[in-house]
Chain A
Amino acid sequence: MTETSRLFLGRIALYAALAAWAAFYLAPLAVMLLTSVKTLDDIRTGTLLSWPAALTLEPWLKAWSGACTGIRCEGLAPFMWNSVLITLPAVAISTAIGALNGYVLSKWRFRGSELFFGALLLGCFLPFQVLLIPMAQTLKALGLANTVSGLVLVHVICGLASTTLFFRNYYVGVPDELIRAAKLDGAGFFTIFWRILLPVSTPIIVVCVIWQFTQIWNDFLFGVVYSGLDTQPVTVALNNLVNTSTGVKEYNVDMAAALIAALPTLLVYVLAGKHFVRGLTAGAVKG
């Protein structure tokens, strides 16, 4: 065998391996999509990957507005709305606080600020289980048990570490000379933030918002512990829908529901995947 043909075969093997892995990652999504547009009879007679005998959107409609999630049978729609109400304010608030914290921790260090940063970072290594019970009792005492506001509060608190880290690490890269020059010109704390830091912050804001959005939208633990029947986020409702064991198991509705719940984060990922990757690898530094 000549050198070139060996190289050529090597390339083919390489691409085949990569394609096989791509198939592994794509298969579950394909199975979900196929199952979600099949009738139950079709599911029983076919296999996971068989093409639907007849396309039906019935499962999607049922998952959206008719399937039972525990005692309610209104589909996922109301819970999608709950997730929106929880996620949007929590993302906005935690990002805003994170930006200010990062600004102080990178440009206005004072005695003890590094110590606080360390304590905050250690906090994001902790398993949330160790905070669950006191948080439940605090929310109850504040009258926030089972409310959307309570969940927003919890997500803001638990997101602070990552958002602060994102902004701090980003602002460290902004030259200190700029800040010093602005101070000499008489600019104050907030003016410098508003006029100098914020205008260059777009990339890190995008990363932070995407990161927080996926984290909070996908949360299940806080949702299941701190939400009431009417304030459950969509992840909790989806789990209830799938595990509601009355009557026939409707796999097609389950899959449609799972896809509906996944749609917002998938959409964000498709639209802004590059930033998502950057967010993940930046978040990786902290763990």
Chain B
Amino acid sequence: MATVMARASGAEHARRDRLQAWLPRLVLAPSVAITLVFVYGFIGWTAALSFTSSKLLPSWNFVGFEQYLKLAENERWLVAAQNLLIFGGLFIAVCLAIGVLLAVLLDQKIRAEGALRAIYLYPMALSFIVTGTAWKWILNPGLGLQKLVQDLGFTGFTFDWLVNPDKAVYTLVIAAVWQASGFVMAMFLAGLRGVDPALIKAAQLDGASLPRIYWRIVLPCLRPVLFSALMILSHIAIKSFDLVAALTGGGPGFATDLPATFMYAHAFTRGQMALGSASAVLMLGAVLAVAVPFLYSELRSKRHD
């Protein structure tokens, strides 16, 4: 009797252990399925659509690289791609410059550091739609900044970038920098706080000046932060859609179109699904071109540590 019971509970245990062993996999399974289908499956789906002639509705009439060739000749796409380079390049460079500068300034044992940090960072809590709405009002040539400066006595001052096709893309940079540069500051400040104070002490004892210490010793330590910031900023730049929608609507004409707005317009309002898919695939390619070397170098440097 006792042995039977022991055997039964043994079997019970074994079953429980097996269940316990499988539970982690079961718990993770839905997320794995979702990632496989909704992320990687959908990428394949979009890529497949980009090789078809789908217009308003998906059709599986394959036409090879036709959509990509169309994109290469599409002036609006070329403007969008060029804008991404201008906008992305300036946005990233200016944000990094401001972020490093503010972080270093804030690192000088400032009184009210917490309050200043909060002020620099709060724009990041806003939606790009709110940011765009605000800057659209500030930069409007009639009643905005232009009038403010003129009323101060500089009557010749004009600032019409928002409605100037050659300059409108720079208004995107202004608004985006306003929103994201405080965030870059926060990242660098966190990085600065992680630098070993002994290093700085030693340099000070050697008689190095403060700017020199920062330039030669502290900033080189922030390479990982620089990489993360670069990643995030380029990610924001490539995905930028809301800011354009709210600030310029892609205009004047399509002077401030970015790939993200081009993709949306063609896939969802102009009934050019295949062309939209092709542009999305090219955006993916651009992101991977930035992300893969980054991830590779990160993984390699980790392995070396």
Contacts and interface: CB of A to CB of B under 8 A. Distances in A.
Interface of A: 14-15, 17-18, 21-22, 24-26, 28-29, 31-32, 35, 43-44, 47-49, 97, 100-101, 103-105, 108, 110, 113, 116, 119-120, 122-123, 125-138, 157, 160, 164, 188-190, 214, 217-221, 224-225, 235, 238-239, 242-243, 251, 254-255, 257-259, 261-262, 265-266, 268-269, 273, 276-277, 280-281, 284-285, 287
Interface of B: 16, 20, 23-25, 27-28, 30-32, 34-35, 38-43, 45-46, 49, 58, 102, 105-106, 108, 110, 116-131, 133-138, 143-145, 147-148, 151, 178, 182-183, 186-187, 190, 228-229, 231-232, 235, 238-239, 241-242, 245-246, 249, 259-260, 263-264, 267-268, 273, 276-277, 279-281, 283-284, 287-288, 291, 294-295
A129 B280 contact: yes
B126 A262 contact: yes
Contacts of B246: 220, 239, 242
A136 to B, nearest CB: 8
A241 to B, nearest CB: 9
Given A284-B187, A284-B232, A268 B125 contact: yes
A25 B27 contact: no
A70 B103 CA distance: 43
Nearest to A108: B24
Contacts of B276: 133
Given A119-B40, A160-B35, A101 B126 contact: no
Contacts, number: 253
A135 B178 contact: no
Contacts of B151: 47
A145 to B, nearest CB: 12
Given A25-B122, A269-B122, A281-B186, A239 B245 contact: yes
28 contacts: A22-B120, A31-B134, A32-B134, A44-B143, A47-B151, A48-B138, A48-B147, A49-B148, A97-B30, A101-B28, A103-B27, A105-B28, A108-B23, A123-B39, A129-B279, A130-B43, A130-B280, A130-B281, A131-B38, A132-B264, A221-B239, A221-B241, A239-B245, A265-B127, A266-B126, A273-B118, A281-B187, A287-B228
B contacts with A: majority SS: helix
Interface centre among B32, B105, B129 (most CB of A within 10 A): B129
Nearest to A22: B119
Contacts of B134: 28-29, 31-32, 255, 258
Contacts of A214: 125
Nearest to A103: B27
A contacts with B: majority SS: helix
Nearest to A218: B127
B28 A104 contact: yes
Contacts of A251: 137, 143
Contacts of B120: 21-22, 25
B126 A164 contact: no
Q: Sorted from nearest, which 7 A-B pairs have the closest CB atoms?
A: A218-B127, A108-B24, A287-B231, A220-B242, A269-B125, A134-B42, A134-B45
Contacts of A135: 38, 42
Contact of A280 (B138, B178, B186): B186
B245 A258 contact: no
Given A116-B31, A258-B130, 20 more contacts: A14-B110, A18-B102, A26-B119, A29-B134, A110-B25, A113-B24, A125-B231, A129-B279, A129-B283, A164-B31, A220-B241, A225-B264, A235-B130, A239-B133, A254-B137, A268-B125, A273-B122, A281-B187, A281-B190, A285-B228
